[in-house]
Structure 1
Amino acid sequence: MFRILLIEDDMTLCKEIHDRLTSWSYDVYRIKDFNHVMQEFTSVKPDLVIIDIQLPKFDGFHWCRMIRGHSSVPIIFLSSRDHPTDIVMSVQLGADDYIQKPFHFDILVAKIQAILRRVYNYNTENVELKTWRSATIDYQKNTVTNNQGTIELSKNEILILKLLIEHNNKIVSREELIRSLWDDSRFVSDNTLTVNVNRLRKRLKEIGLGGYIETKVGQGYIASEKVQL
């Protein structure tokens, strides 16, 4: 049974989400004391976190940062705010999806199922190590290590890297990447993929590998054999 931590201060909505997800056999925990969010996160050890943006004490972006400082657990934002900067900010902080309120509950369930299937099936099926550019990629730990250090990638970032490497210096279209990352691409902004790829490049740059992910305008991306300076 997957554990889901719900960080939402609207008690009516919180109860509805709790009851509905419980009926789908998820083990759902609700934050009741917003002074101790991280303590409850550590205690619950959730498989997925759902966060509202507007919260008491600190907003959802703050808690996303805090969680990302300790864990790569999948995160879904819920918000009544529809400004594009909120969506971009959530992706930049490492969230896996963003759902605008009001939403149809079937969409929330579909996104949860897709993320859990992608993240946890993916990890159990790919426990081997991969060598790329003299770096070791651990698909179970979501890490990339070379002589310049080790970085930990988010689920989306490691999956993008895996798809690009597997295509062996061939272009992977934006459409293929979106379909692989998000099962229901109807609800995904093209800009969301761009933000994820840019985050991946930034992380790889920390260990000298940022120049190997090349954009092919109008086509997609490639794990290039040639460093782009």
Structure 2
Amino acid sequence: MYRIFIVEDDNQIGNVLSRTMEKYGFDAKCAADYRDIVTEWEAYEPNLVLLDINLPYFDGYYWCRQIRKSSNVPILFISAREGEMDQVMAIEHGGDDYITKPIPLDLLMAKIKGVLRRVYGEYADTSTLAPPDSELNLEGLRLNLSRNEWIWKKEKVVLTKNEQLLAECFMQHHGRTITRDRLLEVLWDKAQFVDDNTLTVNVTRLRKKLEQLGLPQVIVTVRGLGYKMVLETENENKLEAQELHL
């Protein structure tokens, strides 16, 4: 079940949105503490945020920037402001879309479903989407497929969609060489041309994010062929050390 975090200080609107989300099979939570939206967001770990602009203490632009410091979670602005500049600012501050009040619920749900399909990689009805907690686990390195996160011990990093596609491929083929052509196929997007440089850039970013987790030199270059993921766990290192002493 996908989780929707609603940041709307009008209780009546918030309740309508919450009931609508639940009607369509989503889990929904309305923000309660407008002085610390980020703490509530982190505790709930939503898959999508509905964010008003006019809020107590700090506006929606501010909270969008705070969330964007650590997450690529989809953010849809909902606001009574109809000006073009407000919509431009919403996108520039990190929003994915903008819908004006009064909110046409059918349009809102269509936008939410479209964003979820695009961001989480499923092109089907919401009833067939992968569960939010589905993940791959490789020797303790976990890839959360709904939150676009790599998790190692107590650390985690957020991945872009392309980075997640590559990470999933590397983990599924651990220890085996994957050609550059195959990885380009993984990144292939009918709506956007993907070239060899795009692959190089994304692999470099993946390596940096693994380093942030404390896992350097996990993705190695196989000269003339492609790349290979080699994750040596602490247990494997201990076993090798023991074998050296035999």
TM-score normalised by the chain length of structure 1: 0.57
Residue 101 of structure 2 corresponds to residue 101 of structure 1: yes
Q: 1:165 is aligned with what amino acid?
A: F
1:16 counterpart residue number? 16
Gaps in structure 1 of 5+ consecutive residues:
128-136, 144-158, 170-203, 208-229
Q: CA RMSD in A?
A: 3.0
**CA–CA separation in structure 2 for the residues paired with 1:88 and 1:82:** 11
1:60 counterpart residue number? 60
How many pairs are equivalent? 144
Deviation at 1:142, TM superposition (A): 8.4
Deviation at 1:31, TM superposition (A): 0.5
> What SS does the corresponding residue of 1:29 show, helix, strand or coil?
strand
Report the CA distance shift for 1:142/1:55 in structure 2 as closer, same or farther (over 3 A): farther
**CA–CA separation in structure 2 for the residues paired with 1:60 and 1:8:** 10
> What SS does the corresponding residue of 1:33 show, helix, strand or coil?
coil
**CA–CA separation in structure 1 for the residues paired with 2:22 and 2:161:** 33
Structure showing greater radius of gyration is: 2
Matches within 5 A, 1:29-178: 29-121=29-121, 139-141=162-164, 163-166=191-194
Listed one character per residue, the Cα deviations across residues 12-55 of structure 1 (whole Å, up to 9, x for unaligned) are 00000001111111110110111221110110011000000000
Deviation at 1:141, TM superposition (A): 4.0
Report the CA distance shift for 1:162/1:90 in structure 2 as closer, same or farther (over 3 A): farther
Which of the pair has the greater relative contact order for Cα pairs under 8 Å at 6+ separation? 1
**CA–CA separation in structure 1 for the residues paired with 2:31 and 2:73:** 17
Report the CA distance shift for 1:25/1:161 in structure 2 as closer, same or farther (over 3 A): closer
Gaps in structure 2 of 5+ consecutive residues:
123-143, 149-159, 167-186, 197-201, 206-246
TM-score normalised by the chain length of structure 2: 0.53
**CA–CA separation in structure 1 for the residues paired with 2:9 and 2:165:** 32
Q: 2:44 is aligned with what amino acid?
A: V
